Structure 1
Amino acid sequence: MKPKTLQIVKSSGEKVLFSQTKLRKSLARSGADKNTIDEIINKLNDELYQGISTKEIYNRAFALLKKEKTIYASKYKLKKAIYELGPTGFPFEKFIAALLQYSGYKVETGKIMQGKCVSHEIDVVAKKNEQYIVAECKFHSDKSSTCNVKVPLYIHSRFKDITENKQHKDILPNQGWVVTNTRFTKDAITYGNCVGLYLLSWDYPKKNSLKDRIDRLGLYPITVSTLLTKREKEFLLSRDIVLARQLEQDDFYLDHLGISEMRKRRILLEIKTLCKK
């Protein structure tokens, strides 16, 4: 069967036509060259079958990339690595705070802010120049989950309550953000844009989405590593090491894990290569 007539099954259960163009683009984002991508696609085309899941395609492409070069595999697994920041969502908040901090913002997490009516715990507060952002992070461990219109409705009401408290001694926040690791529904985007909320998701806004920002800044989550074990990643996350770049600076944590010098050098080389913009 020709790939262009092939139906594949997404994590949501939805059936869609297989797109070689989309697969090629996702492989290109890993940094793999054209010859490597062509070789992988040719191998995958021989293994595709009617009703194959996107997860199976991903796993096979990941294995082929890892065999070619681990750095390609690390970048290719970015979306999965974001899900590995779960299940509580707290490391995701720390990750978003770190993204903003490395972008020049002064950040705080878990800050209590008094509104006109009630107090609110804000996931991430960020300030830079005239920007004063209050951001709510919505983490989903289920890949089929989306942020529907109820989320920006709720966040907007909290943002309004905070900005209507005229007794704030410092400057009032001027931007409300909603950040998610999955996707927004069409109504959520329409409402968010209508009331002036800034929405940031895995693939929105176009050319400045979460994945775009990570690639552009070289700020990959520690979970993107293909050399660290799950237990090692969990240990690092528990020590607030959410960015690969942070481990490059605080590599003594690898000594705490009892990692050998040889393996430590391999891990740090992977991270150093990964964090190049």
Structure 2
Amino acid sequence: MKADVDVIKYSGEKVKFSLDKLKKSLIRSGAAQNTVEEIVSKVVDELYDNISTKEIYNRAYALLKKEKSYLASKYKLKKAIYELGPTGFPFERFISAVLKYSGYQTEVDRILQGTCISHEVDVVAIKENKVTIVECKFHSEKTLKCNVKVPLYINSRYNDIRSNWKFSQYQDKFLTEGWVVTNTRFSEDALTFGNCVNLYLLSWDYPKNDGLKDCIDRLRLYPITVSTLLSNREKQFLLSRDVVLCRELIDDAFYLDHLGVSENRKKKILHEVGMLCKS
């Protein structure tokens, strides 16, 4: 069977090609069953021993883009999250937007005074009279994980802020939770410690079936970097104007005029992001 080949992951690890994983990733994009089968068949035909997962992804992505660009946008979600870098600020802004559309009032980059020192908090999320403080850890390398040092550090900061809460600007509300959010994954020790001290941990695929990718798909809160029609320069321009979500571009389409985008291309871009928000 042609599919019985070794593939090389981003980490350099050699594993067996998984037909099931490829199918699931394509189904997740929203592609019709016949489209999935057709793409899988073409990709399998081109497999060879020690092919990289990157090459497999690129081939599937190109075939999907040829079918429908907005499906390819959903397929490239993980890569699009990495494209929010190289700094962590767009990722913080993205997490803030996801929380806002989940019913929170959010504030980015707030200084909160602890008993010992002051702390710059990435996102303060408020719902009713409860406050959640969120620390975002963005990694530009796919192979990097959040190790146990991260929740150890965040828990220490959280406790310092909590000990001084009655003197904070939010003293009329209750500090109820500390979160750690990453675009990659947590190590086993990080998960064990974080859960032990009651930090809420959110990564690409954790908690199971409710990770970052699941939240994005469920709420249709796709980052602007998923677009297959915008250039990297255009994406960076939009991010610098705090247009982080596709749905924000629909409301702030005038930025495309600032970029000198033609009316015909503008129509195609807005159609693509509109389909993503509705899909």
After TM superposition, the structure 1 stretch with the greater mean CA deviation from structure 2, 14-23 or 190-199, is 14-23
1:84 maps to which residue? 83
Please tell me the residue identity of whatever aligns with 1:2: K
Q: Deviations over 1:216-238 (max 9, x none)?
A: 00100000000001110010000
1:94 maps to which residue? 93
How far apart are residue 197 of structure 1 and its match?
0.3
Work out the CA distance in 2 between the residues paired with 1:267 and 1:171.
Answer: 42
Please tell me the residue identity of whatever aligns with 1:229: S
Work out the CA distance in 1 between the residues paired with 2:131 and 2:167.
Answer: 17
The answer to whether the aligner puts 1:192 opposite 2:194 as a matched pair is yes
TM-score scaled to structure 2, two decimals?
A: 0.97
2:225 maps to which residue? 223
2:109 maps to which residue? 110
Please tell me the residue identity of whatever aligns with 1:117: C
User: Residue 98 of structure 1 aligns to a residue in which SS?
Assistant: helix
How far apart are residue 89 of structure 1 and its match?
1.0
Work out the CA distance in 1 between the residues paired with 2:182 and 2:153.
Answer: 14
- Structure 1 runs (4+) deviating above 6 angstroms are none
Q: Deviations over 1:81-140 (max 9, x none)?
A: 000000011000000000001111000000000111110000000011253110000001
Work out the CA distance in 1 between the residues paired with 2:265 and 2:150.
Answer: 43
2:11 maps to which residue? 12
1:26 maps to which residue? 25
User: Residue 207 of structure 2 aligns to a residue in which SS?
Assistant: coil
Work out the CA distance in 2 between the residues paired with 1:272 and 1:18.
Answer: 34
How far apart are residue 15 of structure 1 and its match?
1.3
After TM superposition, the structure 1 stretch with the greater mean CA deviation from structure 2, 77-86 or 164-173, is 164-173
Work out the CA distance in 2 between the residues paired with 1:52 and 1:210.
Answer: 28
1:271 maps to which residue? 273
* Residues 163 and 172 in structure 1, CA contact (< 8 A), matched pair in contact too: no
* Residues 132 and 178 in structure 2, CA contact (< 8 A), matched pair in contact too: yes
Task: Return 5+ residue gaps in structure 1 as ranges.
Answer: none
Task: Return 5+ residue gaps in structure 2 as ranges.
Answer: none
2:127 maps to which residue? 128
2:38 maps to which residue? 39
The answer to whether the aligner puts 1:211 opposite 2:210 as a matched pair is no
Work out the CA distance in 2 between the residues paired with 1:118 and 1:179.
Answer: 23
The answer to whether the aligner puts 1:240 opposite 2:242 as a matched pair is yes
1:59 maps to which residue? 58
* Residues 7 and 51 in structure 1, CA contact (< 8 A), matched pair in contact too: yes
2:167 maps to which residue? 167
How far apart are residue 18 of structure 1 and its match?
1.1
1:137-156 pair list within 5 angstroms: 137-156=136-155
User: Residue 167 of structure 2 aligns to a residue in which SS?
Assistant: coil
Aligned pairs, how many? 276
How far apart are residue 50 of structure 1 and its match?
1.1
After TM superposition, the structure 1 stretch with the greater mean CA deviation from structure 2, 229-238 or 172-181, is 172-181
Q: Relative to structure 1, is the Cα distance of residues 130 and 208 closer, same or farther in structure 2, using a 3 angstrom cutoff?
A: farther
Q: Relative to structure 1, is the Cα distance of residues 178 and 262 closer, same or farther in structure 2, using a 3 angstrom cutoff?
A: same
TM-score scaled to structure 1, two decimals?
A: 0.97
Please tell me the residue identity of whatever aligns with 2:191: I
